[in-house]
Amino acid sequence: SLFNRATAYEAWCYAKDTRVGVITGGGVEMDVKVGSALLLMSIVPSPVTLSKERCDVIEKEMLEIVHAHMDSSPDTREIDAYVAGYKIAHEYPNSKALYRKNPDSPYKEFMIIADCDLSLDEYVELTYCESTEAFRTQQTIFYGESLLDARILNVTYDRTEDDPFRHFGVRYKRMNMANNGVFSPRDTTFIEFTGSFVNKKGLHGVYCVRESMDFEEVPPFPNVVRFYMKAIFLFTETKDDKVESLQLLYANPLGQMPAWMFNKTSLNYSHVSDDYAKYIHQKRLLAWVAAKGRRQKHANRKAKTCSSCGGSFRGLRARHECWGCSESMCGKCVVSIPRVLTSSDGSMKATQEEFCKKCFVQARAYRTSSNAQSFRELAHSEDATDTGEHPSLRSSHHSNCTRSSSSVRSDTKEDDEKTPVKLLDDNTYPTWNDSSFDQTVMETKLSQMQLGIETQRYLVAQMRSRLEAQANVGHCCLSHVVRSAILVMGNIISWNSNVENQVWEAARMGNLSVLEALNPSRSVLEWRDKCDGRTAFTMACKNGHVGVATWLQLHGADKYARDYEGNTPLHYACFTGQSRIVTFLLNLDNFTPYLLNAKGETPLDVARRAFRDSENENDDIRLVSIANCIELLEQRCSVFSGWSYYRADTFLSKITGISLFQTWSRRYCIVLRTSSSMFLEISLFTLKEQGRRPPVPSSTILVHVSAEKPCITTTDPCLWMQLNPQPHCFDLVGTHKNNASYEKNIQKFTFAAYDDNSAEKWIHFFTHEARASISDPLLSPGRQFNAHELGQTQLYPLNVPLPSAPPMKIEIAQPVTFTKATIRPDCIVCFDGPQSAVCVPCGH
């Protein structure tokens, strides 16, 4: 009698963890005492049935939306957005968020244009869900502990051989939004329609449309506010084998949530796509652990070192346990991933689990069961060119009867029993019982995969060349169309109609066609924004647009253009991890990497600082990009390298100041050139046996290389040397370097070589080759030691014309003319060494 509605809910009655009954009816939350048993209500949405007529209507409406945005190519995507009334909301490293006001609501509509780090196949693997369990895993990775429930209520049709991304169905999710505990949870029931396409230019892509709808089977739940959303995701391959993503999002939270708060929440949720590369690795790790099974923890085993980095658990270093392999790890090697906990009544809960980086790396080669067939197979289809219709939106013949969630539940068990798709054979895949796995076998398998990918790319390139040949007339008019769009509509690219802003914005967005159409002069290329003083070439290097940077360099752009803080394009490329730009700049003729900004930082210093700042952000892709930049600069500047022992301070020696507590530490040393004509830099790296060298050194020493006496001497005998004997010892004269600054006092640093051969090499280098190695043979002397003068703009003209006036009858005294002082190329402080830097306040 408590249930008034005829719609189906499920309630489970438990007594001592045993289900004793099932009640179905309309939804009312209640706690009923039945003897000693407690009746617990678990309200879940019911299966949804869609008629064929309603499916056809919804599909047609969604296809029209996809067609409207599919015709806009990645080259003109942002231009079309400005025409549609969007404005900039926020800029991220690889994406741009735009917004516009909704005429019927105070909540804004958002558009996200980004360069996606995933391929189309990887995006399908991440987003395609065939079962409720897979859908919950995906949403938990996206929203973490904010997700309360997620279910698939209907599957009308799913993937086919022609379209591995085909799906049409009904889904439900419930979650907490911003300020959890202040506002009620939100839920929504929405249609999800996905598929693949080939647009008019022959570019492949996938689409995903989601829109909230009301269904009689899913009425509103108590204490939960139903919200409305409409989202469109469009991923398109560009001509340079990248993937451009377009996302449109509009949501109305209903309830009492203010618009100013929810607009920020919507903007944060729309930025989730920037982390897709991280999410797919997390999904693979969870699937890999589920397929291989968790390793049982040894009861009497207590590791003394981290299983990932090898660091010992001493002092304040805490010990964590990996949820997958049960090995011990330190805090720096922890990768936190949300995981779904499903109870016996079908409800779910998201919880954070800790994994080690070793498992995270090993699971990268794994592929889940949602991995699609290669989208390169679409290149073999001629449907897009043979038919007279719009370029192919792949559609499959769906069944007249739809599958409800009951059938979805039955299919879930079958999906769980299927073996996930793997790239490696069972014999070669690493297992928990193996202490190590054969790296050679894995590299061989990956090489074979790479060859297959290259073959598929070659086939796609052939197809694109044929399509471009057929549409050459349209391509010939592209430049004229872009020029007309810029000149007629004025503020399409920027909010200012002048050509300087247009060139600057085009370089920042990487739009080469607009630059070619504008054909700017050199003075236009050197225009700087008022905020930071960055040129168009700087913005192209900062965002990694190699093609645009090459074009600007060929047309006279200054490759050393500095901003207001003295940063050059190479500084920006190193800070953002654009390794391709770093390679491009270093390959330029007579280009110097020894540039200093206003803080005295070289590009190598900036890259190392960016790596240290990004270590705590758990963004492995950014870390790898910055590490590649560091490696390129070290290869360019290094003159000597080798192993040695270094006399290092310990905790007691730092506190007491007594050198007897110092100890020998094993270091890998790299000697680098600097922007100074008096110093060589020694970077000391700490690493274990057969371990990978870290990108950032543990300490740095500047060795003073003087022409009067050698910088290396034999170590004087002392009490410390008697207590800590080490053969092949030598001293280097120099100073400590901390970031961009260094200590003023010159002191001796004690090293020890491994053996006689190593000692002979170290002594020979610093005795005979160090002075000659200071100068870079690829550069002229002014490019290395006076690099602070490169890229400086002339604020005032050198020759100012004198004011004209008629001659005076009365002769007046003329000022005394002094001869111009000769500027010596010596240091203004000591008048001994050559000039190697400039004082920012006074200019000396």
Q: State pLDDT tens for residues 126-170.
A: 888 888 999 999 999 988 888 899 999 999 988 888 888 889 999
Q: Please say if the pLDDT value at position 408 is more than 90.
A: no
Q: Which of 314, 338, 363 is the last residue of a domain?
A: 363
Residue 503 lies in a domain: no
Residue 616 CB partners (closer than 8 Å, separation 6+): none
- Greater model confidence, 673 or 454: 673
Q: How many residues does the chain have?
A: 844
pLDDT value at residue 419: 40
- Please give the average per-residue pLDDT across 589-610, as a whole number: 90
Residues 280 and 297 reside in one and the same domain: no
Residues 703 and 653 reside in one and the same domain: yes
Report the CATH number that the domain containing residue 676 is assigned in CATH. 2.30.29.30
pLDDT value at residue 307: 85
- Greater model confidence, 444 or 248: 248
What CA–CA distance (Å, rounded) separates 789 from 792? 6
Q: Which of 307, 329, 363 is the last residue of a domain?
A: 363
Residues 346 and 235 reside in one and the same domain: no
Residue 42 lies in a domain: no
Residues 298 and 218 reside in one and the same domain: no
- Please give the average per-residue pLDDT across 313-339, as a whole number: 87
* Cβ atoms within 10 Å of 61's Cβ, excluding its own: 13
Residues 757 and 636 reside in one and the same domain: yes
Q: Which of 15-29, 146-160, 364-378, 666-680 has the lowest mean pLDDT?
A: 15-29
Residue 400 lies in a domain: no
pLDDT value at residue 582: 94
* Cβ atoms within 10 Å of 785's Cβ, excluding its own: 23
Beta pairing, strands 37-40 & 204-212: unpaired
- Greater model confidence, 741 or 213: 213
Q: Where in 357-433 does DSSP place strands (E)?
A: 403-404
Residue 698 lies in a domain: yes
- Greater model confidence, 260 or 32: 260
pLDDT value at residue 427: 37
Residue 636 lies in a domain: yes
pLDDT value at residue 541: 94
Residue 571: pLDDT band by 50, 70, 90 thresholds? very high
Q: Please say if the pLDDT value at position 2 is more than 70.
A: no
Residue 337: pLDDT band by 50, 70, 90 thresholds? very high
Angle at 744 between CA 743 and CA 747, to 5 degrees: 85
Give tens-digit pLDDT for 767-810: 888 888 888 888 876 677 766 566 655 443 444 455 555 555 55
* Cβ atoms within 10 Å of 121's Cβ, excluding its own: 19
Measured torsion, CA atoms of residues 294, 296, 302, 305, in degrees rounded to the nearest 10: -30
Q: Please say if the pLDDT value at position 689 is more than 90.
A: no
Give the SS3 label for residue 98: strand
Q: Which of 757, 783, 809 is the last residue of a domain?
A: 783
pLDDT value at residue 634: 92
Residues 276 and 301 reside in one and the same domain: no
Residue 675 lies in a domain: yes
- Please give the average per-residue pLDDT across 24-45, as a whole number: 45
Structure token pair of residue 86: 């969007």
Q: Please say if the pLDDT value at position 428 is more than 60.
A: no
Q: How far is CA 735 from CA 608, 682, 684, 746, in A?
A: 19, 10, 14, 5
Structure token pair of residue 179: 């300020």
Is-contact 324 335, C-beta < 8 A? Answer: no
Residues 107 and 189 reside in one and the same domain: yes
Give tens-digit pLDDT for 701-730: 899 887 667 787 776 655 555 566 677 788
Is-contact 597 565, C-beta < 8 A? Answer: yes
Q: Which domain holds residue 358?
A: 293-363
Is-contact 156 50, C-beta < 8 A? Answer: yes
- Please give the average per-residue pLDDT across 584-599, as a whole number: 90
Residue 591 CB partners (closer than 8 Å, separation 6+): 559, 585
Report the CATH number that the domain containing residue 90 is assigned in CATH. 3.30.530.20
Q: How many domains does the chain have?
A: 3
Q: Please say if the pLDDT value at position 479 is more than 70.
A: no
Residue 355: Cβ-neighbour burial (10 angstroms; 0-12, 13-18, 19+): buried
Structure token pair of residue 121: 């196949």
Residues 229 and 327 reside in one and the same domain: no
What DSSP assignment string belongs to 525-544?
Answer: HT---TTT---HHHHHHHTT
Give tens-digit pLDDT for 74-117: 667 777 888 888 888 887 777 888 888 888 888 888 888 888 87
Residues 180 and 81 reside in one and the same domain: yes
Q: 662: phi > 0 → left, psi -120 to 50 → alpha, else beta; which?
A: beta
Residue 527 lies in a domain: no
Give tens-digit pLDDT for 271-286: 677 788 888 889 999 9
Q: Please say if the pLDDT value at position 465 is more than 90.
A: no
Residue 102 lies in a domain: yes
pLDDT value at residue 629: 94
Q: Please say if the pLDDT value at position 488 is more than 60.
A: no
Report the CATH number that the domain containing residue 300 is assigned in CATH. 3.30.40.10
Residue 185: Cβ-neighbour burial (10 angstroms; 0-12, 13-18, 19+): middle
Residues 236 and 348 reside in one and the same domain: no
Give the SS3 label for residue 151: strand
Give the SS3 label for residue 454: helix
What CA–CA distance (Å, rounded) separates 646 from 794? 47
Calculate what percentage of the chain has a pLDDT beyond 90: 17
- Please give the average per-residue pLDDT across 32-55, as a whole number: 64
Residues 767 and 651 reside in one and the same domain: yes
Residues 355 and 247 reside in one and the same domain: no
